[in-house]
Amino acid sequence: MDIIFGRNRKEQLEPVRAKVTGKIPAWLQGTLLRNGPGMHTVGESRYNHWFDGLALLHSFTIRDGEVYYRSKYLRSDTYNTNIEANRIVVSEFGTMAYPDPCKNIFSKAFSYLSHTIPDFTDNCLINIMKCGEDFYATSETNYIRKINPQTLETLEKVSTHM
């Protein structure tokens, strides 16, 4: 799997059997979950930093010497807002989102002021954490997103504010 900055990855919603070179030991069974940036452009707007891409969840299920792969974008509020606007509207680590250029001067000023101290993104693209029987996509912001480890569906958003 190649990762190229600036190139959006496609989701693989249904498990696909991977080509295995060599032999996987019979005792190796389970699922490996990974997380990272997968979408680096939304509409005509582009993220400025490799760490900013929208989160893409990956699942590698290993059983009976075979590997099955699937991937799905984390359906965070950030993902949904950006996709709906067809541009980047939520600021990230190295990318500051700007107000809608179609707004008039007063709307732009109010929009700019409301974006100077933005709410943190819930684009949890850094890691996967298991807590009890639950799995969460995480990053360095105040939110984590519960996910279904089998389907990679995005479940509830959890605030980590104290």
Q: Phi-psi category of 86—alpha, beta or left, where left has phi over 0 and alpha has psi -120 to 50?
A: left
pLDDT tens-place values along the chain, 162 residues long:
344 556 899 999 999 999 999 999 999 999 999 999 999 999 999 999 988 999 999 999 999 999 999 999 999 999 999 999 999 999 898 898 876 666 555 555 555 444 444 468 999 999 999 999 999 999 988 999 999 999 999 999 998 875
Is residue 120 assigned to a domain? yes
Is residue 7 assigned to a domain? no
Is residue 161 assigned to a domain? no
83 by DSSP, 3-state: which?
A: helix
The tally of domains found in the chain comes to 1
Q: Give the DSSP H or E segment for 158.
A: strand 154-159
Is residue 3 assigned to a domain? no
Please state the pTM of the whole predicted model: 0.84
* Helix boundaries (H) for the chain: 77-85, 105-116
Q: Which domain holds residue 133?
A: 12-156
Is residue 100 assigned to a domain? yes
Beta strands in 10-153 (DSSP E): 12-17, 30-39, 41-42, 45-46, 54-63, 66-73, 127-131, 134-138, 143-147
Is residue 108 assigned to a domain? yes
> Strand pairing partners for 31?
61
Nearby residues of 108 by Cβ (< 8 Å), 6 or more positions away: 99, 100
